[in-house]
Amino acid sequence: MTTYLIRGARPYGGEAADILLEDGRIAAIGRQLPATGAEVVEAGGLVALPGLVDLHTHLREPGREDAETVETGSRAAARGGFTAVHAMANTDPVADTAGVVEQVWRLGQEAGLVDVVPVGAVTVGLKGERLAELGAMADSAARVRVFSDDGHCVADPALMRRALEYVKAFDGVVAQHAEEPRLTVGAQMHEGDRSARLGLTGWPAAAEEAIIARDVLLAGHVGARLHVCHVSTAGSVEILRWAKSRGVQVTAEVTPHHLLLTDACAESYDPVFKVNPPLRTDADVEALRAGLADGTIDAVATDHAPHAVEDKESEWAQARPGMLGLEQALSVVVETMVETGLLDWAGVADRMSVRPAAIGRLQKHGRPLAEGEPANLLLLDPATRASVDPAASASRSRNSPYAGRELPGRVVATFLRGTPTVLDGKATR
């Protein structure tokens, strides 16, 4: 196994240091380490961070390999600086058995670009009728700890309560897609002045907030862990803040697109901006940034949702919701959180690596950059600004909401257990 000496990088944006990677671990961090026998990676000016961990990725395999595969999605993840991603269960077949989650886990190991951690469905076929084999998925080779019907809400409160009770046995967590379905029938965009003017059916903030309020009460009552997917409204942040102050074991994520974009994007009627939950208002964006800064929102998660051209390039109402996120996530966080002074680099590491790894109970990710730790890390050039070109994406899909937008930060290298998955900005395999 090749030994790497990263020369002159700035861990967490601090003082420059050399980082020696040997046998999958960080063997040493210090000034002017000898390069004997090591491959040297010049990293002057680059920020070193722990490898990012995504709690929410759609890889589309099995079933929609024309939109993404475990391998292509893993490559996009590595290029974004990720070393682990949680693969959502809304595949075809649904990841609701030990067999399917083990298949996804194995495909991830074979691709070898990031650790692909399968999420198990909460209910059979995501139908919201009866619980899936949660225990069997937890005991499988995939060791599932995060369960979600994402794409659908576990709307039945009794079923949600039972799921929360069940996952407690193996320290699992239910990740809820908070959307009261009776309030979002036919919904196309955020419900407000704009939806009325554009003539598109609205998706009210209350549909999200009502489920979060219900679920934090349930989680508190049964003493189980709840995670809230893609929080999108100011009201949701307030409910989470209240629940945390009461000691409820709740965590939450925000997507890069909800930190940057608003419902103004819908004015274009370009379905690339159609997403669930929808892009909200400026006031919501501000509250989400503040909630992420003060830790009420624990993590940034991409909700990377690749879609084939025929599912996206249609009329707004016919298009599927969802947008790409893995490759630009860190850049969007740099723009919205670092350049605004809301987070420092240690804060970015906390929200994009440490906390998501803790929520998913991953032992070998989200670890500090320190001697003896697993060599999962990334090198970022924070100064470079470039315009996003969807054609250059490693994803099999092209539905990036950032096309043509200039964003800061370029991931120069990613290392998974001491082996580069990305070097000079290019995937190594």
- The site map against ligand NCD for 263-302 (x = CB under 6 A) is ------------xx--------------------------
Q: Which residues of 376-407 are buried (b: 16+ CB within 10 A; e: fewer)?
A: bbbbbbbeeeeebebeebbbbbbbbbbbebeb
Query: Dihedral of the CA atoms 225, 228, 233, 235 (nearest 10)?
Result: -20
User: Active site includes 54?
Assistant: no
The entry of Zn ion, ligand NCD, none near residue 325 (CB within 5 to 8 angstroms by kind) is none
Pick from 7, 18, 38, 58: which binds ligand NCD (CB under 6 A)? Answer: 58
H/E element, 30 = strand 25-30
The entry of Zn ion, ligand NCD, none near residue 322 (CB within 5 to 8 angstroms by kind) is ligand NCD
Question: What distance in Å separates the CA atoms of residue 34 and residue 17, rounded to the nearest whole number?
Answer: 12
SS3 409: strand
The entry of ligand NCD, Zn ion, none near residue 410 (CB within 5 to 8 angstroms by kind) is none
The answer to whether 365 is annotated as binding is no
Question: What distance in Å separates the CA atoms of residue 340 and residue 291, rounded to the nearest whole number?
Answer: 14
Which two three-digit tokens encode residue 5? 């000496």
Contact between 257 and ligand NCD per CB under 6 A: no
Pick from 18, 61, 150, 263: which binds Zn ion (CB under 5 A)? Answer: 150
Which two three-digit tokens encode residue 136? 């069997």
The position carrying tokens 């554009």 is 198
Pick from 151, 256, 325, 408: which binds ligand NCD (CB under 6 A)? Answer: 151
The least CB distance from residue 255 to Zn ion, in Å, is 9
The answer to whether 304 is annotated as binding is no
* CB distance 411 to 379 below 8 Å: yes
Q: Could you tell me which stretch among 145-153, 162-170, 258-266, 409-417 binds Zn ion (CB under 5 A)? A: 145-153
Pick from 207, 305, 329, 369: which binds ligand NCD (CB under 6 A)? Answer: 305
CA 118 to chain centroid: 13
Q: Which residues are catalytic?
A: 303
Binding site membership for Zn(2+): which residues?
A: 56, 58, 150, 177, 230, 303
State the residues that interact with ligand NCD by CB under 6 A: 58, 90, 150-151, 177, 275-276, 303, 305, 321-322
